[in-house]
């Protein structure tokens, strides 16, 4: 959520900056809502103040045993207008909130301006794509002989699910374990195990609700409420600090959490239908940081570096891309995507997304810390994939495939696979 004071004082500036990310801010609608809010709120508070003063008089008179009927008659006259005014305000405020809560974050000044992914800017490339002396297969074909099974998953659940057996399941587990160990042992993150079902308040806090409900799996309950399956560990982990005032020395917080992620992928029916690039369920190791405002931009570089370290240790060529204004997510002030080289697609594909949300999520969550003046101040939040496990498995299969159908194991990963250096299809 944006700072409402900023909207009031710099409305046209805000609208101009949001236009860069394809969001049309209806400034006339905002001004109308704001004018009405101001009128109703000041009038309501004025009437409440009168009522309170008169009621206090009643109390004092009765305390002294005197007659209060004159004051009671006076206060009775206020009642109707106060009720009307309170009701009108109660009707308006949710509409005001609804308007503000669907406005995306402002892009940081360093974010390249652009309309779509074509406007993204490559920051760096690491590693060189391997030269193959045989026809490369994609991960579906490489994985088929190693236990990657989409047909059975489709029977069990439907499209966009995968079933991993034997070596594939083991490799998947090894990747997640490896990532967790690196982030906890080398990067200083605290490992978490977190709920996979969260309430609507949590989804609002990180920005998935109210605007993106169709992307979520919703689980109704008998009592009429519902829970949501997390689309990323960002949601439960970041919401740890919702409605908290942290001590100054409690930040920064650095958490790493391995969870499955559930996305309905509404609106992407035709994309990446083959293989496990785009699934309804996938595992991810997520990095989350909660920091003081002055530290968040350094933290974004640091966190992105932590995700890059995984790719480097796994010897996977990748590039780092700064997303442009038109391609960023709703809550982000700036995002780096890490894209891994997939030889079968002859392209770099997203495997991590690292963002600084500044105070956007913190304001929705009311997540604060005590600053030097001992006053509550909004924290800044960041997160990034470190990495998406399923897509990492895809990358290993494609980049380390051999002509005979076997798949090499990156050296760093071998301890997690009992020391073997190659996955060999069963005869």
Partner RNA sequence: GGAGGGGUGGCAGAGUGGUCGAAUGUACCUGACUCGAAAUCAGGCGAUGUCGCAAGGCAUCCGUGGGUUCGAAUCCCACCCCCUCCGCCA
Tell me, by CB under 7 A, how many residues bind RNA: 33
Residue with Cβ nearer RNA (51 or 319)? 51
Work out which of 9, 27, 45, 152 binds RNA, going by CB under 7 A. Answer: 45
Q: Does 245 sit near RNA (CB under 7 A)? A: yes
Distance CA 259, CA 102 (A): 27
Residue with Cβ nearer RNA (177 or 199)? 199
CB 203 within 8 Å of CB 235: yes
Distance CA 28, CA 109 (A): 26
**350 flagged as catalytic:** yes
Helix (H, G, I), strand (E, B) or coil at 100: helix
| Distance in Å, CB of 297 to RNA, minimum | 23
Return the half-sphere exposure (C-beta side, CA atoms, 13 A cut-off) of residue 103.
Answer: 29
- Binding to RNA by CB under 7 A, coded x per residue (else -) over 1-30, reads ---xx-------------------------
Residue with Cβ nearer RNA (27 or 55)? 55
**186 flagged as catalytic:** no
Closest Cα partner for 423 from 248, 303, 28, 414? 414
Q: Which residues pair with 284 in a beta bridge?
A: 259, 388
Helix (H, G, I), strand (E, B) or coil at 246: strand
Distance CA 357, CA 296 (A): 9
| Distance in Å, CB of 45 to RNA, minimum | 4
| Distance in Å, CB of 11 to RNA, minimum | 14
Exactly one of 263, 363, 364, 368 is catalytic; name it.
263
Where are any strands of DSSP class E within 96-188?
121-126, 148-149, 163-164
> Which residues between 63 and 122 bind RNA (CB under 7 A)?
63, 72, 75-76, 79, 90
- Binding to RNA by CB under 7 A, coded x per residue (else -) over 117-156, reads ----------------------------------------
Q: Could you tell me the CA-to-CA distances from 206 to 20, 23, 337, 360 in Å, in that order?
A: 22, 19, 19, 8
Exactly one of 350, 370, 377, 414 is catalytic; name it.
350
**170 flagged as catalytic:** no
Work out which of 15, 23, 48, 350 binds RNA, going by CB under 7 A. Answer: 48
Size of the chain, expressed as the number of residues it contains: 427
Q: Does 243 sit near RNA (CB under 7 A)? A: no
Which range binds RNA by CB under 7 A, 207-215, 263-271, 367-375, 400-408? 367-375
Q: Does 197 sit near RNA (CB under 7 A)? A: no
**160 flagged as catalytic:** no
Q: Which long-range contacts (C-beta less than 8 Å, at least 24 apart) are formed by 141-149?
A: 142/397, 142/398, 142/401, 142/405, 142/407, 143/168, 143/397, 145/405, 145/425, 145/426, 146/171, 146/397, 146/407, 146/423, 146/425, 148/276, 148/397
Where are any strands of DSSP class E within 105-167?
121-126, 148-149, 163-164
Which range binds RNA by CB under 7 A, 38-46, 146-154, 164-172, 346-354? 38-46
Work out which of 375, 403, 415, 422 binds RNA, going by CB under 7 A. Answer: 375
User: CA quadruple 423, 390, 198, 255: dihedral positive or negative?
Assistant: positive
- Binding to RNA by CB under 7 A, coded x per residue (else -) over 327-366, reads ----------------------------------------
Kindly report the number of other CB atoms within 10 A of residue 326's CB atom: 20
| Distance in Å, CB of 227 to RNA, minimum | 10
**391 flagged as catalytic:** yes
Distance CA 42, CA 88 (A): 12
- Binding residues for RNA (CB under 7 A): 4-5, 38, 41-42, 44-46, 48-49, 51-56, 58-60, 62-63, 72, 75-76, 79, 90, 223, 225, 245, 368, 374-376
**Residues with catalytic roles:** 263, 278, 350, 353, 391
């Amino acid at each position: 959520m944006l700072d409402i004071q900023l909207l009031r004082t710099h409305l046209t500036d805000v609208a101009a900056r949001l236009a860069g990310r394809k969001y049309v801010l209806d400034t006339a609608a905002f001004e109308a809502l704001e004018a009405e809010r101001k009128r109703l709120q000041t009038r309501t508070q004025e009437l409440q103040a009168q009522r309170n003063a008169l009621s206090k008089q009643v109390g004092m008179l009765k305390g002294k045993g005197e007659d209060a009927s004159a004051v009671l008659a006076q206060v009775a006259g206020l009642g109707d207008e106060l009720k009307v005014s309170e009701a009108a305000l109660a009707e308006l405020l949710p509409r005001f909130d609804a308007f503000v809560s669907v406005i995306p974050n402002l892009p940081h000044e360093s974010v390249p301006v652009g309309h779509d992914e074509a406007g993204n800017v490559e920051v760096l490339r690491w590693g060189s794509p391997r030269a193959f002396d045989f026809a490369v297969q994609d991960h579906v074909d490489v994985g088929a002989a190693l236990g990657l099974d989409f047909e059975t998953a489709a029977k069990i659940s439907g499209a966009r699910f995968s079933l991993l057996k034997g070596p594939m399941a083991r490799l998947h587990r090894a990747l997640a374990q490896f990532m967790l160990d690196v982030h906890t042992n080398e990067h200083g993150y605290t490992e978490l195990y977190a709920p996979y079902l969260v309430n609507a308040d949590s989804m609002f806090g990180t920005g998935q609700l109210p605007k993106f409900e169709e992307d979520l799996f919703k689980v109704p309950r008998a009592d009429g409420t519902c829970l949501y399956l997390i689309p990323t560990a960002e949601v439960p982990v970041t919401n740890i600090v919702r409605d908290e005032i942290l001590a100054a020395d409690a930040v920064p917080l650095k958490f790493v959490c391995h969870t499955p992620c559930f996305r309905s992928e509404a609106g992407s029916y035709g994309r990446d239908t083959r293989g496990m690039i785009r699934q309804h369920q996938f595992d991810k190791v997520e990095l989350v940081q909660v920091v003081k405002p002055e530290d968040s931009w350094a933290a974004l570089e640091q966190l992105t570096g932590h995700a890059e370290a995984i790719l480097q240790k796994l010897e996977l060529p990748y590039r780092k891309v700064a997303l442009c204004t038109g391609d960023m997510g709703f809550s982000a002030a700036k995002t780096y995507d890490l894209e891994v080289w997939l030889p079968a697609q002859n392209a770099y594909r997203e495997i991590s997304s690292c963002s600084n949300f500044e105070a956007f999520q913190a304001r929705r969550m009311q997540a604060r810390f005590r600053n030097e003046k001992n006053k509550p101040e909004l924290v800044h939040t960041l997160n990034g994939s470190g990495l998406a496990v399923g897509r990492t498995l895809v990358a290993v299969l494609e980049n380390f495939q051999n002509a005979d159908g076997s798949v090499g194991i990156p050296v760093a990963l071998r301890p997690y696979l009992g020391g073997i250096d190659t996955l060999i299809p069963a005869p």
